[in-house]
Amino acid sequence: MTSVREMPLLEDGPPPGGFPPVRCAWRIPSKGPSAAAIFLVALGAFSCGMYQVGQGNRIRRVICCSQSHTTNASS
């Protein structure tokens, strides 16, 4: 054997008779909440957080405006 071309050809293949069938569990039990339930919980948490941000902005605006009116009125 002086060259690669002179080497015998060896290929992998399936065993005689083929491979045994693969058993798949098509009926996987659903565990945990559904996608809709997760989405609704996330939407509720987001809405609650945005409501709290809005309330904080409203309080901050009242404090800021009351301070600016008192400084403008006194000068």
Q: Where are the domains of the chain?
A: 33-75
Model pLDDT, residue 36: 96
Q: Which residue has the tokens 């339930």?
A: 37
**Is the distance from CB of 7 to CB of 13 less than 8 angstroms?**
no
Two tokens, residue 43: 């939407």
As a whole number of Å, the CA-based R_g of the chain is 36
Q: Where are the alpha helices (DSSP H) in the chain?
A: 35-74
Tens-digit pLDDT profile for residues 5-43: 888 887 888 889 999 988 877 777 778 899 999 999 999
